[in-house]
């Protein structure tokens, strides 16, 4: 089944440019008992809308199936921790909010960002997250969390109980929601007259220029750039007034948005729109993106198979969703990899979806000292290199798959 029309503008002028075939859910880790069961898999392909310029996947899995129990825990990596603290400080300095300003964080996960906001002095922060397990973690820390999917109805309920929001923060959640209209309408209704919406999301042009195809999975319905974002918000009488790029998740964009009558877009917006044009003029960049991903797949498989045949032992680092996408796309499983290590205790003892590789704590890397380790969390390369000095000092080598395959 292919995508018939764009979820935002409803145009039927949509064109497929990336095809993964059928894939399991990238966060659907398995217990040992589940390994024997039939594992569900779903079509995964990406389309460009020639009318509004947005990229989106064709087939969506129900959000309830993906987010009610959630293993991605924002708290895990050190790089993201430092980033959150800096962001909270910036929010305080740049947005000029009072300490009792009402802040709503949509997709608050385990409350890691809310905690940083609290440490910066903000006293009135509400999280919204559908994952029962993560909301409980946040509540334990004394962080007020509304356990629900954010949409028009949830926004109305929050508005009724708490009043309008001075700041609505959406970090890596906006692109996850298939019903984009209900989500943006909810933001519009909940936002105070003088309030600000701050959205952070992977930036598609960065994804393409870095060959970061492993960002594509069922949870990510949309792949965003400024042009379609501007259209979406203008449709609801909201205006993007400023943007900022950062290096998170292989390249992200922060969008600052307010009610249209309150904000004018700054100069930067037009500059970025002009630079984005090559991604909207034709499909060249998109087709090249798919070709590059296919090339990485061939090269990586060839290298791993050769090393294995020469008797080397190979493991992997980072059982995150993106790692699972790469493994499944490339067809790398227990034939080539002995195990994968991950810092997140929620995942240890489980198996990777589709490829069934056992997940262990990171200490196993030094204990077992495999000859090569495939770095699936290539976006945390620096941090991992620093942590694994022992492994590397004993001769362990890292295989970095993206943006291109290299061995260090
Ligand atoms: Zn469209």
Of 17, 204, 292, 28, nearest to 3 by C-alpha is: 17
Q: Do domains 66-281 and 285-407 have the same CATH topology?
A: yes
Of 74-83, 195-204, 328-337, the range with the lowest mean pLDDT is: 74-83
CA of 233 to the centre of ligand 1 (A): 13
CA of 204 to the centre of ligand 1 (A): 15
pLDDT at 75 over 60: no
Q: Where are the domains of the chain?
A: 66-281, 285-407
277-291 pLDDT tens trace: 999 999 999 999 999
CA of 44 to the centre of ligand 1 (A): 19
Q: Give me the interface pTM, i.e. the ipTM.
A: 1.00
CA of 47 to the centre of ligand 1 (A): 10
pLDDT at residue number 158: 98
More confident residue, 248 or 335: 335
4 touches 49 (CB < 8 A): no
CA of 40 to the centre of ligand 1 (A): 29
CA of 52 to the centre of ligand 1 (A): 4
CA of 224 to the centre of ligand 1 (A): 12
End-to-end CA gap in the chain: 42
d(CA 46, CA 185): 25
Burial 188-208 (b: 16+ CB within 10 A, else e): bebbbeebbbbbbbbbbbbbb
pLDDT at 350 over 90: yes
CA of 88 to the centre of ligand 1 (A): 33
CA of 215 to the centre of ligand 1 (A): 21
Of 222, 292, 284, 283, nearest to 253 by C-alpha is: 222
Which CATH fold topology does 66-281 show?
Answer: Rossmann fold (3.40.50)
CA of 176 to the centre of ligand 1 (A): 16
87-122 pLDDT tens trace: 998 888 888 899 999 999 999 988 999 999 999 999
Of 14-23, 243-252, 304-313, the range with the lowest mean pLDDT is: 243-252
Superfamily classification of domain 285-407: NAD(P)-binding Rossmann-like Domain (3.40.50.720)
CA of 282 to the centre of ligand 1 (A): 15
Find tokens 């460009």 and name the residue: 48
d(CA 361, CA 350): 11
CA of 148 to the centre of ligand 1 (A): 27
Using 50, 70 and 90 to split pLDDT, how confident is the model at 68?
Answer: low
CA of 231 to the centre of ligand 1 (A): 9
Of 217, 145, 222, nearest to 177 by C-alpha is: 222
298 touches 363 (CB < 8 A): no
pLDDT at residue number 229: 98
CA of 171 to the centre of ligand 1 (A): 23
Q: For residue 117, give Cα distances in angstroms to 91, 111, 123.
A: 9, 10, 8
pLDDT at 148 over 90: yes
Beta bridge partners of 146: 128
216-250 pLDDT tens trace: 999 999 999 999 999 999 999 999 999 999 888 77
CA of 396 to the centre of ligand 1 (A): 47
CA of 54 to the centre of ligand 1 (A): 6
CA of 313 to the centre of ligand 1 (A): 47
CA of 14 to the centre of ligand 1 (A): 8
């Amino acid at each position: 089944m292919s995508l018939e029309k764009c979820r935002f503008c409803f145009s039927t002028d949509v064109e497929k440019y990336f095809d993964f075939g059928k894939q399991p859910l990238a966060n659907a880790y398995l217990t040992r008992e589940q390994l024997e069961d039939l594992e569900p898999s779903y079509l995964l392909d990406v389309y460009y809308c020639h009318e509004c310029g947005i990229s989106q996947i064709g087939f969506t899995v129900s959000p309830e199936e993906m987010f009610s129990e959630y293993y991605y825990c924002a708290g895990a990596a050190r790089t993201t921790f430092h980033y959150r603290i800096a962001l909270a400080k910036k929010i305080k300095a740049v947005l000029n909010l009072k300490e009792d300003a009402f802040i709503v964080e949509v997709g608050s996960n385990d409350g890691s960002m809310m905690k940083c906001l609290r440490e910066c002095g903000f006293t009135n922060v509400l999280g919204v997250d559908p994952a029962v397990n993560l909301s409980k973690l946040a509540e334990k820390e004394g962080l007020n969390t509304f356990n629900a999917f954010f949409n028009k109805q949830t926004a109305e309920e929050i508005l009724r109980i708490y009043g309008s929001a001075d700041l609505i923060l959406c970090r890596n959640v906006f692109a996850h929601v298939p019903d984009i209209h209900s989500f943006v309408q909810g933001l519009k209704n909940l936002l105070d007259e003088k309030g600000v919406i701050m959205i952070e999301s992977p930036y598609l042009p960065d994804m393409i220029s870095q060959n970061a195809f492993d960002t594509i999975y069922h949870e990510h319905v949309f792949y965003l750039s400024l042009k379609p974002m501007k259209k979406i918000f203008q449709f609801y009488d909201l205006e993007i007034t400023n943007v900022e790029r950062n290096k998170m998740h292989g390249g992200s964009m922060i969008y600052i948005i307010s009610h249209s009558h309150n904000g004018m877009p700054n100069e930067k917006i037009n500059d970025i729109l002009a630079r984005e044009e090559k991604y909207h003029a034709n499909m060249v960049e998109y087709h090249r993106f798919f070709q590059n991903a296919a090339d990485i797949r061939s090269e990586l498989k060839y290298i791993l198979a050769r090393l294995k045949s020469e008797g080397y032992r190979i493991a992997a680092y980072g059982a995150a969703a993106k790692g699972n996408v790469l493994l499944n796309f490339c067809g790398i499983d227990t034939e080539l990899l002995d195990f994968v290590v991950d810092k997140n205790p929620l995942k240890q003892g489980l198996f990777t979806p589709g490829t069934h590789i056992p997940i262990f704590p990171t200490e196993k890397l030094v204990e077992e000292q495999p000859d090569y380790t495939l770095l699936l969390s290539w976006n945390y390369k620096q941090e991992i290199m620093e942590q694994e000095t022992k492994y590397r000092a004993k001769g362990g080598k890292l295989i970095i798959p993206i943006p291109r395959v290299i061995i260090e």
